[in-house]
Homo-oligomer: A and B are copies of this chain.
Amino acid sequence: MATSTKRNLKENAIIDAAEKVFSEQGFANTKMEDVASEIGISKGTIYFYFSSKENLYMAITYRAFQALIDTFYESVEATKDQSGLEGLVGLMKSFIAFSEKNFLYSEAMLDFISFVRSTSNGVLDEKITDAMKVSSYYERVRDIQNIPISIFLKEIERGRKDGSILNKQKPELIYLYAWANVLGFVKLNATSGKKTSILKVEITDWRNYIIRHTRKMLTDPDA
């Protein structure tokens, strides 16, 4: 176990470094050498822990889902004494904050969804598929990818039971709508760099507007 722990420590240190440089330069523009030198080890060492660059990215993806799940659970915990509506609004706020803070995570999760969907269609080229398949993290991510969704759906359920959510749409549709909103917001935001406004709109105003709108949507029986 000592060995295992040590190994984990190193593995995590590498993932930390990878997150940093991938965030700064993007996945495609980052060389394994960059990741290695960020943490002061050699390229070869990375390959001892990760079978490929893709696999390293998959490890980040796993972290992303884990972190989102943690964030969601914390949010649920924090609003458990409030209505389901507030729980869901809380999830939304957490989701936005999470994605803004971790753009890389946001992208990684999206890439994973794309990847899974594309491979199930047999569209993607085999090389990448193979690289992914041998990834020890691939299965792990598959196992947890749906947890955020189920948390979200559960809160909708709760809100419906306690009468705070009146929207009658399929819960999954509400989730998709919410996710798309967050995703679009974050994507467009990412292009604005350090700026606090885009198209003359304060980003804070925009963020608030999304929340307000979500609340409206959830409480509208005709929405």
**B125 close to A191 (CB less than 8 A):** no
A interface residues, Cβ below 8 angstroms from B: 25, 28-29, 110, 113-115, 117-118, 121, 123, 125, 149, 169-170, 172-173, 175-177, 179-185, 187-188, 190-195, 198-201, 205-206, 209-210, 212-213, 216-217, 220, 223
For A184, the chain B residues whose CB sits under 8 A away are 179-185, 187
Distance, CA A182 to CA B85, complexed state (A): 25
**B110 close to A191 (CB less than 8 A):** yes
Given the interface pairs A181-B180, A216-B220, the reply to whether A170 lies near B117 with Cβ below 8 Å is no
For A193, the chain B residues whose CB sits under 8 A away are 117-118, 121, 123
| Closest residue on chain B to residue A222 by CB atoms | B216
**B25 close to A125 (CB less than 8 A):** yes
CB-contact partner of A199 in B175, B182, B223, under 8 A? B175
**A200 close to B172 (CB less than 8 A):** yes
**B223 close to A213 (CB less than 8 A):** yes
**B29 close to A191 (CB less than 8 A):** no
Distance, CA A179 to CA B195, complexed state (A): 19
Chain B nearest CB: distance from A146 CB in Å? 9
Distance, CA A20 to CA B172, complexed state (A): 33
Chain B nearest CB: distance from A120 CB in Å? 8
For A125, the chain B residues whose CB sits under 8 A away are 25, 29
Chain B nearest CB: distance from A31 CB in Å? 13
Distance, CA A26 to CA B125, complexed state (A): 11
**A201 close to B172 (CB less than 8 A):** yes
For A149, the chain B residues whose CB sits under 8 A away are 199
**A183 close to B187 (CB less than 8 A):** yes
Distance, CA A176 to CA B192, complexed state (A): 13
**B205 close to A173 (CB less than 8 A):** yes
**B187 close to A110 (CB less than 8 A):** yes
Most buried by B among A190, A198, A209, A212: A209
Given the interface pairs A170-B200, A188-B183, A198-B176, the reply to whether A216 lies near B205 with Cβ below 8 Å is no
Distance, CA A172 to CA B29, complexed state (A): 33
| Closest residue on chain B to residue A111 by CB atoms | B191
